[in-house]
Amino acid sequence: MRAAAFAKRNLKELLRDPLTLFFGLGFPMALLGLMTLIQRNIPVHIFELDTLAPGMALFGLTFMALFSGLLLAKDRSSALLARLTASPMTAADFLLGYLLPMLPMAAGQTAVCLAAAVALGLPPSWNLLAAAASLLPSALLFIALGLLCGTLFNDKQVGGMCGALLTNVTAFLAGIWFDLSLLGGPLHAAAYFLPFAHGADAAKAALAGDWAALPVHLLWVSAWAAAVMALAVLLFRRRLTER
List interacting residues with other proteins (CB under 8 A). 1-2, 4-6, 8-9, 12-13, 16-17, 78-80, 82-90, 243
Q: How far is the CB of 225 from other proteins (least distance, A)?
A: 28
Q: Which residues of 206-225 are buried (b: 16+ CB within 10 A; e: fewer)?
A: bbbeeeeebeebbebbbebb
- Comparison of 13 and 50: residue with beta carbon closer to other proteins: 13
Q: How far is the CB of 139 from other proteins (least distance, A)?
A: 23
- Count helices and strands in the chain by DSSP H and E runs: 14, 0
- Comparison of 84 and 173: residue with beta carbon closer to other proteins: 84
- Comparison of 89 and 194: residue with beta carbon closer to other proteins: 89
Biggest distance spanned by C-alpha atoms of the chain: 62
Q: Are 56 and 28 in contact (CB under 8 A)?
A: yes
Q: How far is the CB of 78 from other proteins (least distance, A)?
A: 7
- Comparison of 103 and 240: residue with beta carbon closer to other proteins: 240
Q: How far is the CB of 158 from other proteins (least distance, A)?
A: 17
- Comparison of 9 and 188: residue with beta carbon closer to other proteins: 9
Q: Which residues 6+ apart lie within 8 Å of 23 measured at CB?
A: 63, 66
Q: Is 164 exposed, middle or buried (0-12, 13-18, 19+ CB in 10 A)?
A: exposed
Alpha-carbon distance of 168 to 162, in angstroms, equals: 9
Q: How far is the CB of 90 from other proteins (least distance, A)?
A: 8
